[in-house]
Amino acid sequence: MINLKRNPKVGFVSLGCPKALVDSERILTQLRTDGYDISPDYAGADVVVVNTCGFIDSARQESLEAIGEALTANGRVIVTGCLGKNAEDIRSVHPRVLAVTGPQQYEAVVSAVHLHAPPTQAHDPFTNLVPASRSDPVSRDAENGGIGIKLTPRHYAYLKISEGCNHKCSFCIIPSMRGKLVSRPVGEVLDEAERLVAAGVKELLVISQDTSAYGIDLKYKLDFWGGRPLRTRMKELCEGLGSLGAWVRLHYVYPYPHVDEIIPLMAEGKILPYLDIPFQHGSKDVLRRMRRPAASENNLERINRWREICPEITIRSTFIVGFPGETEAEFAELIDFLDAAQLDRVGCFKYSPVAGAAANALEGAVPEEVKQERWDRFMQAQAIISRKRLQYKIGSIQAVLVDAVEPGRAIGRSMADAPEIDGIVTIRHPPGFRPAAHKPNAPSPGALRPGALVQVAIDSADDYDLAGSLVSATGA
C-alpha cells in the first residue's frame, strides 16, 4: 500500500547502450518534475521502472533477469525500452509486470507510473523545473538551469542528436524497434549542449544510431541557434559544438564521403580527433550480406586520407566475426584489413542471431567453435596493433580528463579514450601532491579532481592503457 503523505518513490534500473541511458535520463527528469522522488534501492520504491535492452540475445536475457530481480525484490514493476516492443515476450516470462511500454514511449511509461503510484501533490513546473533531491542518481537540477537528471558523472554527458535509423543491416532489429531516422533540429541540440557546458560538463559525447545521416530526414532544414541561421547537418552541428569550449566526441559515424568535411575541424582542434566508426567487417562480400551502409566505400583509402589531414586522429571501431557464410578467406580479409588500417581502438563480437533479424535466413551458420577460434585470432592481431600504437605515446604529454581520484592515483582519459569503451590513463601523483613552488604552472593539490583537465607525461603503456605523471593542471 502506498503511503499518501509523502512523494511516491520510483526505483530505476537502466540497461543497454548510451542511447537507452539518455532515454532513462529523460524519463527520470519527467518523473522528478512530476513530484516523484527517486529511490536508491528496491525496498524504498513504490514502483520500479526497468529500462531494457533487446539488441542481442544476451542483452535480452540480462533484461529479463533484471525484471525478475525487481519483481522478487519489490513486486511492482513497469518495463520500458527496446525489449518492451514485444510486450508478450515479457509477459510470457513475467506475467506479474504492471505495464510494458516500448522504446521512446516516454509519455506512456510516465503515465504508467502515475497510474500505479499516483503523485500525492501537484508540483509546479513553472517555479521549480526539477525538484532537488539527495536521492537523485546524479542531479543537474535547479541550480544549473533546469537541464534535468543525468546518469553519467557531472563532467561528461551523452548528447543524442537523432532517433531511429533508415538502414536495414541484416543482423539488426533496431529500425523495427526504434523506427526511421528522426533528427533533432540543430538549434535544439546546440541549446542543450550549451546548457550542459554551462552546468559544468567538460565532454560531450554525440550519439545516435547513425551520426553521418544527421539531418537527412529534415532535408538539412534551416534552423536558428543564438539568432544565427544554421542548417541541420553534421558539419554545422560539429562547428557549433566545437565553439562551446568542451571536448566533443563523435560516435556511430559511417564512412560516407561527407565525413571528410569533419576531419579539418579535428585538425584545427575544434572537436576531438576521434571517430567511432563501426566498420563491422573487412570483406566487401560480408559487408554486402550484412547490408551495411557505405559497404562499397574504400574504407582503407578513406582512413589514409583522414590521417593525412589529421595525423593524430584516433579511430575506434567494432567488428563481427562468424557472420553467416563467413569463409576462412573472408575472415583472412578481415585480418588483412586490420593490419592495413592499424586502428587504435577495436571491439569484436561473435555473431549471435537476434530474433527477427533478416540475417537469420542466411545460409552457412558458422559453428560456435569456429567463431571462438576466429575471435581469438582477431583479438590477438588487434592486441599487437593496439600495443604498438600506444607505445608511440610513451614520452608524449597528453591532455587528460580526470574521471576518478583514488588513494595514491587518479584515473582519467586522453582525447583518444571514450568512457566505458576505450582505455584509461593512470596518473600516478597522489592526490595530496604538493609541487615545488618555483615551478611555473605547477599543479596544486586540488588539480586532481573528477572533471579536471590536466596534462600528463606518459611513461608506460600496456595493450590498452597508458600511465604517467601529472605535469600541469591545465590540459587544454
Q: What is the contact surface with ligand SF4 in residues (CB under 6 A)?
A: 165, 167-169, 172, 174-175, 209-210, 293
The nearest distance, CB 290 to ligand SF4, in angstroms, is 8
The nearest distance, CB 104 to ligand SF4, in angstroms, is 14
- What span, in angstroms and rounded, lies between the C-alpha atoms of 357 and 172? 6
The nearest distance, CB 38 to ligand SF4, in angstroms, is 30
Buried b (16+ CB within 10 A) or exposed e, 413-440: bbbbbbbeebbbbbbebbbebebeeeee
Q: Quick one: which of 210, 177, 172 has its CA closest to 351?
A: 172
- Closer CB to ligand SF4, residue 30 or residue 52? 52
- What span, in angstroms and rounded, lies between the C-alpha atoms of 108 and 99? 9
CA 122 from centroid of its chain's CA atoms: 34
- What span, in angstroms and rounded, lies between the C-alpha atoms of 126 and 144? 15
Nine-digit cell at 377? 585470432
Contact assessment for residue 140 and residue 197, using Cβ atoms and an 8 Å cutoff: no
The nearest distance, CB 60 to ligand SF4, in angstroms, is 16
- Closer CB to ligand SF4, residue 10 or residue 295? 295
The nearest distance, CB 164 to ligand SF4, in angstroms, is 8
The nearest distance, CB 295 to ligand SF4, in angstroms, is 11
- Closer CB to ligand SF4, residue 29 or residue 212? 212
Sequential DSSP letters for 87-117:
HHHHHHH-TT-SEE--TT-HHHHHHHHHHHS
- Closer CB to ligand SF4, residue 46 or residue 163? 163
Hey, what amino acid is at 171? F
The nearest distance, CB 114 to ligand SF4, in angstroms, is 32
- Closer CB to ligand SF4, residue 274 or residue 279? 279
The nearest distance, CB 209 to ligand SF4, in angstroms, is 4
| Alpha carbon distances (Å) from 77 to 118, 262, 286 | 14, 44, 42
**Backbone φ, ψ for residue 178 (5° rounding):** -110, -5
The nearest distance, CB 113 to ligand SF4, in angstroms, is 28
3-state secondary structure of 467: strand
- Closer CB to ligand SF4, residue 78 or residue 287? 287
- Closer CB to ligand SF4, residue 86 or residue 342? 86
- Closer CB to ligand SF4, residue 120 or residue 166? 166
Contacts 24+ apart (CB under 8 A), 12-15: 12/38, 12/48, 12/49, 12/51, 12/137, 13/48, 13/49, 13/50, 13/51, 13/66, 13/70, 14/51, 14/151, 15/50, 15/51, 15/52, 15/53, 15/59, 15/62, 15/63, 15/66, 15/81
- Closer CB to ligand SF4, residue 187 or residue 282? 282
Q: Quick one: which of 239, 196, 138, 203 has its CA closest to 400?
A: 203
